[in-house]
Homo-oligomer: A and B are copies of this chain.
Amino acid sequence: MAEKHIGKQTVVLNNPPSIKATASIVGPKEGKGDLKRDFDYILPDELWGEDSWEKAESKLVRETFSKLLQNAGISNDKIDYILAGDLLNQCIAANYGLRDTNVPFFGLYGACSTMAESMSLGSMLVGGGFADNVVCLTSSHFCSAEKQFRFPLELGNQRTPTSQWTVTGSGAVLLSAEGTGPYIKHITTGKINDLGVTDINNMGAAMAPAAADTILTHFADTGLVPEYYDLIVTGDLGKVGKQLCLDILKMNGLNIEAMYNDCGVMIYKLEEQDAHAGGSGCGCSATVFAGHIYKEIMKGNLKRVLFIATGALMSPISLQQKESIPGIAHAVSIHRSID
């Protein structure tokens, strides 16, 4: 095994990058949830002056990137790489939203795991000495996602209680070789998990096994205990998937209930906002991390966080062809200071 690899799937960064700044922009519904004060900007409406939802999502990406540079006080020519992707076919939100940045670009597709995937790869590029500054970014948009994955919004379809609400939002993180933290120290990279779930209206169930697998592997690889972290937070399992994840972990002898939460549960007032099982989409974990969690770490309210973004890797065509839904989950640990 390479020297920085511990256990099966985890890297420990000897030169941990700092998260120098974050940025987050969300839609109107997300702007009415409990985390509303933590976002940089709340859209007045889902179109934001554009003539299509896809263009609105590209604008989200473009403006979140700009806001990140502004928050960090850095110009685009100091950024070595952007790592970004989204849910849209051929990742057009990222490709069009970032086409004018003039920065070397690596496109990713990790579905809703993209925020942790980009932070994992970005941390290794910085930690390996290949980059000084890397931007990690992702987005999702309720309307473009419904149109692409489910039904035309105009149909006004009813939603099942297990269904989740795709977050309209974009989150971005600047990783830097220089800085005073918070630091990314561990990277536990997920494998594709497929337990045969086929219900497109229950993505939490499809992703929970992958999340549990990555969490179990993280603790097995590092020898750490859950109490080491103030917060263990999954990306977008929602309340159904969150409970399943806890159950799978308990069956495997790991109890994380005391410090566990899920970004999909945190972002909305589930009952009051009619958000069913909770938030989903790449933008869910991205905005909750870049908006809320990062600020809590900076305030000193959280010292160590294990952030696990979760993705469902199907497509409408794979479901029409009777395939099940593979899941994946990538984890990174974020530390206020290096201990």
Contacts and interface: CB of A to CB of B under 8 A. Distances in A.
Interface string A107-151: 111110000010011001111111110000000000000000000
B5 A105 contact: no
Nearest to A95: B313
A90 B104 contact: no
Interface residues of A, number: 64
A326 interface: yes
Given A129-B4, A131-B2, A192-B95, A105 B315 contact: no
A54 B90 contact: no
A111 B129 contact: no
A126 B106 CA distance: 17
Interface stretch (A31-39, A251-259, A302-310, A317-325): A317-325
A101 B321 contact: no
Interface stretch (A41-49, A80-88, A163-171): A80-88
Contacts of A2: 80, 126, 129-132, 177
A131 B5 contact: yes
A107 B90 CA distance: 13
A103 interface: yes
Interface string A68-109: 000000000000110001011111100110110111111111
A120 B313 CA distance: 23
A79 to B, nearest CB: 11
| Copies per assembly | 2
A320 to B, nearest CB: 9
A108 B108 CA distance: 4
A224 interface: no
Contact of A5 (B5, B109, B130): B130
Contact of A92 (B124, B128, B315): B315
A95 B81 CA distance: 25
Contacts of A91: 109, 313
Given A54-B318, A107-B313, A108-B108, A90 B89 contact: yes
Interface string A296-339: 00000000000000000111111001010010100000000000
Given A109-B107, A124-B125, A89 B130 contact: no
A2 B129 CA distance: 6
B52 A321 contact: yes
Contacts of A129: 2-4, 128
Interface string A164-203: 0000000000000100000000000111111000000000
A55 interface: yes
A99 B55 CA distance: 32
Contacts of A88: 315, 317
27 contacts: A4-B128, A5-B130, A9-B104, A51-B321, A52-B321, A54-B321, A55-B321, A85-B109, A88-B315, A89-B89, A89-B90, A89-B315, A89-B316, A91-B313, A92-B317, A92-B318, A92-B323, A96-B326, A98-B192, A99-B326, A104-B191, A105-B328, A106-B117, A106-B120, A107-B111, A121-B125, A128-B130
